[in-house]
Amino acid sequence: MDEGLHEDVLKLLKALADENRLRMVELMSQRAYTVSELAVVFDLTEPTVSHHVSKLHAAGLLRLKMEGNQRFYSMNEKRLSTFKFYMNSIENLPARAEKVKPDTAWIEALDWSESDKKILRDYTKNEKLVQMPVKDAKALVILRWLATKFEAGKHYTEKQVNAILTVYHEDYATLRRTLVDYGYMRRERGGGDYWLTPEDEQVEPKFH
């Protein structure tokens, strides 16, 4: 069953998973009761009854009617019918889709600090960039990671750079410009060739 339906079934099952609450449902299906009346019938304290009633009410199984200062609770037949429908057809309801955990094995394989790895985990999913960090310190980690997708000493055309960056995020143009602005890549004047900044050249990011 889908996420919402699955949660609704669980909510109803939890609300009814108590002997006293099941008996209260039976009684309130016949007429409305106050908490005080139920406390007498079940020989329970009013706070205990209020706890049970709140569980049933939160699941939508009870209706509340005010008469002066008194609160009368009765069965919500429509909601009860929903529960009966779930139970009668539970074997035919579609199974809940399993949540797939993001693949972070590629991050763990990096010989980077744990703080840098955490930034990658926060801003990527399955080796794709979800969004660019606003803070420069975090952005530098993302850019350093993207720079590893290019070979040192090799020149790339703008089209080739775009093709590589598109694999990791659709806004390749912004990533391409940012890699150059922050000094991770060099660009031939006029926008011809692109290449990684040599390791012996210090990267001097242009913070904004």
In-domain check, residue 202: no
Backbone angles phi, psi at 44, to 5 degrees: -125, 160
12: tokens are 């109803």
> What pLDDT score was predicted for residue 156?
94
* Domain span at 58: 3-92
In-domain check, residue 10: yes
How confident is the prediction along the chain (208 residues), in pLDDT tens digits per residue? 455 777 888 889 999 999 999 999 999 999 999 999 999 999 999 999 999 999 999 999 999 999 989 999 999 999 999 888 888 877 665 555 556 677 889 999 999 999 999 999 999 988 999 988 888 899 999 999 999 999 999 999 999 999 999 999 999 999 999 999 999 999 987 767 999 998 777 555 554 4
Number of CB atoms found within 10 A of residue 36's CB? 12
Find, among 95, 164, 159, 154, the residue nearest to 129 by Cα: 164
Number of CB atoms found within 10 A of residue 52's CB? 19
Q: Report the C-alpha dihedral over residues 16, 20, 21, 25, rounded to 10 degrees.
A: 110
Contact 155/193 with Cβ under 8 angstroms? yes
Sign of the alpha-carbon dihedral angle for 149, 136, 119, 127: negative
In-domain check, residue 137: yes
44 lies in the same domain as 118? no
130 lies in the same domain as 81? no
86 lies in the same domain as 133? no
180 lies in the same domain as 114? yes
65 lies in the same domain as 8? yes
Last residue of a domain, one of 65, 92, 119: 92
Report the domain count for the chain.
2
In-domain check, residue 207: no
169: tokens are 């995020």
Question: Domain holding 8: CATH number?
Answer: 1.10.10.10
24 lies in the same domain as 79? yes
CA-to-CA distance for 108 and 126, rounded, in angstroms?
Answer: 12
In-domain check, residue 201: no
> What pLDDT score was predicted for residue 207?
46
Last residue of a domain, one of 92, 124, 143: 92
pTM: 0.51
Q: What are the residues whose beta carbons fall under 8 Å from the beta carbon of 127, sequence distance 6 or more?
A: 103, 106, 168
102: tokens are 């993001």
